[in-house]
Amino acid sequence: MSRVLAVANQKGGVAKTTTVASIGAALSAEGKRVLVVDLDPQGCLTFSLGHDPDKLSVSVHEVLLGEAEIGDALLETADGVTLLPATIDLAGAEALLLMRPGREYALKRALAEIADDYDIVLLDCPPSLGVLTLNGLTAADELVVPLQCETLAHRGVGQLLRTVNEVQQITNPDLDLLGAIPTLYDSRTTHSRDVLADVSDRYDLPVLSPPVPRTVRFAEASASGATVLAGRKNKGAEAYRELAANLSRYWSGAELVTLEG
């Protein structure tokens, strides 16, 4: 059975997609069978893994609506991970799903069909708390929340945690919130560190180690569709490899390494 990890935060631009692509590539390099799912109609994950959303005829949209088999939508990527891609059609799925009973379970049902083919499934949620993110949180075993360590970047965390709480009460009692992943981190400023300490105190949220520093390479990688962890030594890629190893050890029974402990 595969383990499903959702990466969600309704705030835009906090590195959800970068986190899914990078941790996915790192786990794949460790020898794991990895599936990544693009749940964002913008298709940024799809694009960053080398596929053009405009040229796809089958995507997660048709799978969620029951119009295609999940197996027919999967694509291979240069990073070694398998991709369930998104196209702009997914923007319409939101409205179409809303009219259906059991709308939060569409992704969970689709993933059940391929549960034995992957060790880990990573879900890239869109920047909203709509029905697509609810599908992600309902299908997931675990959740991590990327947080950008800047002023007020954590406004909205309370709202996200309330949504997680509702999901745990209604559609997915087993959902496990692992913690926050600090992204776009600038260790030279005490400000980044203060924001983190504040978030972990205020929301009683573990902060996973290590933080991911801001590096120029990520912008280059997402623009080129090249392998995210490839290229010369890069502190951001290094941090994601360590985070992936931290998660791997946790899944094998070890404690998660957090910044406090």
Ligand X SMILES: Nc1ncnc2c1ncn2[C@@H]1O[C@H](COP(=O)(O)OP(=O)(O)OP(=O)(O)O)[C@@H](O)[C@H]1O
Contacting positions for ligand X (CB under 6 A): 12-18, 40, 44, 127, 183-184, 212, 214-215, 218-219, 222, 236
Q: What does the alpha-carbon distance between residue 238 and residue 257 come to, in Å, rounded to a whole number?
A: 16
157-170 vs 190-203: helix axis angle to the nearest 10? 30
Residue 134 binding target from Mg ion, ligand X, none, CB below 5 to 8 Å by type: none
Kindly tell me which of 214 and 241 has the beta carbon lying closer to ligand X.
Answer: 214
Q: What does the alpha-carbon distance between residue 229 and residue 248 come to, in Å, rounded to a whole number?
A: 17
Least Cβ distance, residue 110 to ligand X (angstroms) = 21
Residue 219 binding target from Mg ion, ligand X, none, CB below 5 to 8 Å by type: ligand X
Kindly tell me which of 207 and 212 has the beta carbon lying closer to ligand X.
Answer: 212
**Contact of 106 with 133, CB cutoff 8 Å:** no
Q: Rule CB under 5 A: is residue 183 a binding residue for Mg ion?
A: no
Kindly tell me which of 14 and 248 has the beta carbon lying closer to Mg ion.
Answer: 14
Residue 87 binding target from ligand X, Mg ion, none, CB below 5 to 8 Å by type: none
List 5, 10, 15, 16, residue binding Mg ion (CB under 5 A): 16
Size of the site for Mg ion (CB under 5 A): 3
Kindly tell me which of 17 and 59 has the beta carbon lying closer to Mg ion.
Answer: 17
Residue 214 binding target from Mg ion, ligand X, none, CB below 5 to 8 Å by type: ligand X
Within 8 A by CB and 6+ apart from 47, the residues are: 53, 222, 225
| Strand 120-124 with 142-148, pairing | unpaired
User: Residues 155, 107, 139, 199: what is their CA dihedral angle, to the nearest 10 degrees?
Assistant: -10
- Kind plus residue range of the DSSP H or E element containing 199: helix 190-203
Place of tokens 């969600």: 8
Site for Mg ion in 21-80 (CB under 5 A): 44
